Structure 1
């Protein structure tokens, strides 16, 4: 549950530390950089508790709000979060078999859906949609409901246009010859993604689309009924994890899209780390 976070454990930090250099280089004169572990502790504290930047605890294991804010932007822009997520999903290190090596990714079927966090503070790409003022979080999950990739759009954006980009964003770093498996056998969505073009594009990639057809009062549905063979409740459970465990994602308070997307990436990484450590 959200509300308490007392810092990364040693096991959790082992999955992070190989990505970052041992000693952060100084920017020139003055004090050295805050240790990366302290920065991650502060960022995860904000993400889990949903507190303001000025409410970060002070102590030996925490970084200042300015340092945390600066490194959050830097890690999002230079691809550190993307590299870390790809490594967590597939690349074994630190004595652990990571997600794909451990068989934690169910490639039999996946799901795509969106959730609506209100954007009460306004800002970049915050717009009025069917549910009010805010944005949409689009998430691709695997068969067990674990998130693989995410993207955000304004609340009045087109959800159907996010399906193929989400599939293309899946990154797995296996250090093996050949391309890793990144294709689902079945992809399930709701009626909001009903589109002949999207069904054809998914079939072209070798993915069977499970997209229900919209029901029109004045039209008669033609063709064979859509075969429903996989459930979608795992997708809804993923959004429940985002809202219950990571309170910062319930409402978008960030004025810039960059920072909110970085928090979503960090939440995805933290969910997978907890899953890997739970399995052992």
Structure 2
């Protein structure tokens, strides 16, 4: 049996996604062309996410519709909050199976080039001032992505520490109160600022942040490596290696969808 392509949606994953997609009411008068099946449109979106191909080059012979149709569906579903709800649903399932470890969280950021500029871009200090963006990521102790934020490439990492902590959704999956805050947050020297340490403590979270000016070998690397591994998984989606989208919401949709897919893989590996 041929191995399924990574952009092909399994029946199990589709069963999770389908209830989250808003139902489209077709017009009674002048209905126009029949709407492309949602599952095929999603596979077209995933094809672009995995391969990095331009929307207009989406192969018609795959049966996923035109690139513009898939682009519109991505934007439509992002506006409806489908990708965020999908990510939250999968986090709930991971917690229900005891696969989520909120005893500790790790944060980091990664620069990407933004060739077409647009919102949430800025001169990148690591790319000779060329326009770029940053992915700011927070994971649990096992590397499961909890939240991701897009900013300009010139935004200081420490300014996104509190927004990342607040962006973690309320994770259910078990009886009792939902879990939203890790006990400890681990970060590198880019987050070294006493003001932000105090702000993190007000959330009843213990900050473990390396100090600037000290020798390497703080020992935090054995906890922080998981977020770097997750960045590797995120950027394995070729569309996320370089930002081609002028609109920030389209790139953020790809980010949320990629985080959800990483959660799904982790969940599937437990079965």
Q: How big is each residue's C-alpha offset from its partner over 1:73-99, in whole Å with a ceiling of 9 and x where there is no partner?
A: 122222221122111111xxxxxxx11
Alpha-carbon distance between aligned partners in 1 of 2:171 and 2:207, rounded to the nearest angstrom: 26
Residue in 1 aligned with 2:126?
131
Residue in 2 aligned with 1:222?
none
Q: How big is each residue's C-alpha offset from its partner over 1:115-153, in whole Å with a ceiling of 9 and x where there is no partner?
A: 001112222232112112211100011111121111111
Conserved in 2, the CA contact under 8 Å of 1:89 and 1:172? no
SS state at 2:112 partner: coil
Whether 2:18 is the aligned partner of 1:17: answer yes
Q: How big is each residue's C-alpha offset from its partner over 1:215-268, in whole Å with a ceiling of 9 and x where there is no partner?
A: 189xxxxxxxx8859611111101111122x00000001111111111001101
Whether 2:161 is the aligned partner of 1:163: answer yes
Shift of 1:154: 0.6
Alignment of 1:105-254 (within 5 A): 105-132=100-127, 133=130, 134-172=132-170, 174=172, 179-215=177-213, 228=220, 231-244=223-236, 246-254=237-245
State TM-score, norm by structure 2.
0.88
Unpaired stretches in structure 2, ≥5 consecutive residues: none
Q: Is the alpha carbon distance of 1:228 and 1:117 closer, same or farther for their aligned partners in structure 2, counting shifts above 3 Å?
A: closer
State TM-score, norm by structure 1.
0.86
Whether 2:17 is the aligned partner of 1:26: answer no
From 249, 255, 264, the equivalent of 2:246 is 255
Alpha-carbon distance between aligned partners in 2 of 1:88 and 1:126, rounded to the nearest angstrom: 30
Alpha-carbon distance between aligned partners in 1 of 2:244 and 2:210, rounded to the nearest angstrom: 34
Moved over 6 A (4+): none
Alpha-carbon distance between aligned partners in 2 of 1:247 and 1:229, rounded to the nearest angstrom: 27
Alignment of 1:75-90 (within 5 A): 75-90=77-92
Q: Is the alpha carbon distance of 1:227 and 1:185 closer, same or farther for their aligned partners in structure 2, counting shifts above 3 Å?
A: farther
Whether 2:47 is the aligned partner of 1:45: answer yes
Conserved in 2, the CA contact under 8 Å of 1:107 and 1:183? yes
SS state at 1:117 partner: strand
* Number of aligned positions between the proteins: 261
Alpha-carbon distance between aligned partners in 1 of 2:57 and 2:124, rounded to the nearest angstrom: 32
Unpaired stretches in structure 1, ≥5 consecutive residues: 91-97, 218-225
Q: Is the alpha carbon distance of 1:216 and 1:145 closer, same or farther for their aligned partners in structure 2, counting shifts above 3 Å?
A: closer
Q: 122-131 or 170-179, which moves further after superposition? A: 170-179
Shift of 1:178: 5.2
Alpha-carbon distance between aligned partners in 1 of 2:191 and 2:7, rounded to the nearest angstrom: 41
Alpha-carbon distance between aligned partners in 2 of 1:232 and 1:173, rounded to the nearest angstrom: 22
Output the aligned Cα RMSD: 2.3
Alpha-carbon distance between aligned partners in 2 of 1:42 and 1:206, rounded to the nearest angstrom: 43
Q: How big is each residue's C-alpha offset from its partner over 1:25-70, in whole Å with a ceiling of 9 and x where there is no partner?
A: 2256212322211111011100011111122232475132122111
